[in-house]
């Protein structure tokens, strides 16, 4: 188990290294993308361009430029924006990260609990009224786009019913946990629910399908022949084997969301998270910020996948050998 963990972490580091090179090449070495032109502004003279190239080290060999970029990004941490000259990139990302982290982690707890419970309840009551009901709610939650659901939630809680039922709902924005934990939770409650709806729906449906499949497996027949109760068979045997797919789904979703995929929810609820930062930097083609955001995002995707694989090995002993 330990050696498996070590091997997995090492390969994650290698993947991150490869991603950093790929991202660097895409944004800084693709023909047609001239960082100097971005920095110097529109219709700059050749002399200005040459000056900018020299000042930013853009005239040096490509791998030196890669090392310089990594040096600025991770060691000196003084990489500056090309668009808002002087604005440092790393603090910006570090400021946005906790917002996204809080949003996504809270939502993840909700969608895991609701999704797993929904899947179990539906599978346990297969063929009864409650199964299609849960599945219908699930598909409805999956079908509703987050930005629409978020707007509707805002409309109800901020405007229509704000004076009566939802007087306690704050108006958008983010309060750091360290500043006021109660306000932190209050500000994030509806963003959490909005973001969790989609994933809870997916997880409930996936888990139900997995459980129904597992209940037809030979080992479940053995468990029945052993005289175990249906409840124990479902919870101890079928669920344990079905959790593997939920865990791998969760790793991918969680990593991607932390990496910025919660953009729509962040925009709707005015949360200045990583998604928002990536979005604005892409609009401005602010290469250093994009670089930092993508690396930050990929870090979490890769990390989440490594954690998932380690969890996998914990859940399924057959994986440990490979």
Residues engaged in binding other proteins (CB under 8 A): 127, 216-219, 221-230, 236-237, 240-241, 315-318
User: Considering the complex, what minimum distance in angstroms separates the CB of residue 11 from other proteins?
Assistant: 23
Cα 151 versus chain centre, distance? 21
User: Considering the complex, what minimum distance in angstroms separates the CB of residue 129 from other proteins?
Assistant: 15
User: Considering the complex, what minimum distance in angstroms separates the CB of residue 126 from other proteins?
Assistant: 10
Distances 285 to 84, 124, 152, 207 between C-alpha atoms, Å: 11, 51, 32, 41
User: Considering the complex, what minimum distance in angstroms separates the CB of residue 242 from other proteins?
Assistant: 10
User: Considering the complex, what minimum distance in angstroms separates the CB of residue 278 from other proteins?
Assistant: 39
DSSP per-residue string spanning 154-210? HIIIIIITTTTTTTT---SS---TTT-HHHHHHHHHHHHHHHHHHHHHHHHHHHHHH
Checking 129-137 for CB contacts under 8 A at 24+ apart, the result is: 131/208, 134/204, 134/208, 135/204, 135/205, 135/208, 137/201
CB atoms within 10 A of CB 227: 6
Task: Compare residues 42 and 231 and give the one whose CB is closer to other proteins.
Answer: 231
Task: Compare residues 187 and 208 and give the one whose CB is closer to other proteins.
Answer: 208
Task: Compare residues 85 and 322 and give the one whose CB is closer to other proteins.
Answer: 322
């Amino acid at each position: 188990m330990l050696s498996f963990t070590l091997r997995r972490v090492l390969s994650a580091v290698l993947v991150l290294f490869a991603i950093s090179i790929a991202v660097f090449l895409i944004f800084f070495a693709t023909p047609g993308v001239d960082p100097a032109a971005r920095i110097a502004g529109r219709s700059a003279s050749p002399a200005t361009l040459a000056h900018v190239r020299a000042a930013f080290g853009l005239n040096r060999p490509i791998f030196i430029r890669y090392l310089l970029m990594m040096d600025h990004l991770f060691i000196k941490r003084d990489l500056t924006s090309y668009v808002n000259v002087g604005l440092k990139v790393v603090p910006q990302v570090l400021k946005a990260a906790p917002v996204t982290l809080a949003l996504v982690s809270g939502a993840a707890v909700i969608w895991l609990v609701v999704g797993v419970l929904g899947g179990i309840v539906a599978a346990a009551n297969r063929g009864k009224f409650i199964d299609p009901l849960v599945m219908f709610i699930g598909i409805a939650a999956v079908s509703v786009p987050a930005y629409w659901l978020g707007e509707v939630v805002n409309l109800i809680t901020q405007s229509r019913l704000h004076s009566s039922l939802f007087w306690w709902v704050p108006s958008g924005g983010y309060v750091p946990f360290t500043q006021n934990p109660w306000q932190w939770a209050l500000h994030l409650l509806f963003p959490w629910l909005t973001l969790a709806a989609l994933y809870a729906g997916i997880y409930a449906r996936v888990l139900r399908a997995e459980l129904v499949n597992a209940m037809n497996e030979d080992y479940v027949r053995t468990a029945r022949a052993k005289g175990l109760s249906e409840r124990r068979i479902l919870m101890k045997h079928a669920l344990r084997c079905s959790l593997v797919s939920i865990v791998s789904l969760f790793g991918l979703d969680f990593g991607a969301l932390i990496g910025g995929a919660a953009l729509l929810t962040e925009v709707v609820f005015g949360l200045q998270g990583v998604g928002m930062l990536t979005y604005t930097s892409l609009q401005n083609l602010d290469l250093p910020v994009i670089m930092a955001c993508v690396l930050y995002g990929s870090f979490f995707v890769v990390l989440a996948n490594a954690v998932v694989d380690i969890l996998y090995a914990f859940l399924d002993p057959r994986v440990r050998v490979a």
